[in-house]
Amino acid sequence: MQKTLEELWFYIKMDSIDCVKKTIEGFIEKSLVSEDPLHAKNTLEWLLKLKPDADEALKIAALGHDIERAIEHRKVKLKDYGSYDEFKEAHALNSARILEEIMKDCNVRKELIDDVFFLVSHHETGGDGGIVVLRDADSISFFHVNLPYYFVRNSIEETKRRCLWGYKKLPKNLQKVVVKFNYEDKKLESLVRAWVADS
């Protein structure tokens, strides 16, 4: 049975997207930041809760938005930047560049590469449409997955600063979601609730 050109393109497209997803997961599984694999998948889960009809660009962006943290010799360092916001912008751009390389290696079409690059390079700051959904999914996942790990590695003051930085990026309806999260560490839970109540 001979396949139409459209059917063949569908299989080529799926193979290239699978290649991208598997490559992203392969890098992230090796991250020295222990929560990175869980955060990547959790961000994708939150993205799909917020936008069930998300396209492939958004799904790839959600899975790979922090990929640069998993590649030690390429990741950006906070100490090299004048502010936390500058650092996060550099982190987003670096992750976008790495994803662009992966997608080219997987023979992804240019339009999809450009879409993912744009989404990931702006995922910390937001913008219009899909970028806002990606930023919000990432921010919710920080509270859902990353925050307990962050608290263990950092001081209370640093955890508070990072917590409020992420919280203030969220719209009011999603702020209500994250304040309801429960943590095993009840000290962290009470601190988070106090910090956001005062913000």
pLDDT tens-place string over residues 158-195: 999 999 999 999 999 999 999 999 999 999 999 999 99
Report the C-alpha gap between 31 and 21 in whole angstroms: 16
Amino acid at 35: E
Report pLDDT for 27: 95
Give the number of domains in the chain: 1
Report pLDDT for 168: 94
Residue 199 above 70 pLDDT? yes
pLDDT tens-place string over residues 105-160: 999 999 999 999 999 999 988 777 779 999 999 999 999 999 999 999 999 999 99
Q: Which residue range forms the structural domain that includes residue 97?
A: 5-198
For residue 21, the Cα-to-chain-centroid distance in whole angstroms is 14
The structure tokens listed for 181 are 């999260």
Question: How many percent of the chain have pLDDT more than 90?
Answer: 84
Report pLDDT for 5: 57
Please report, for the domain that includes residue 144, its CATH number.
1.10.3210
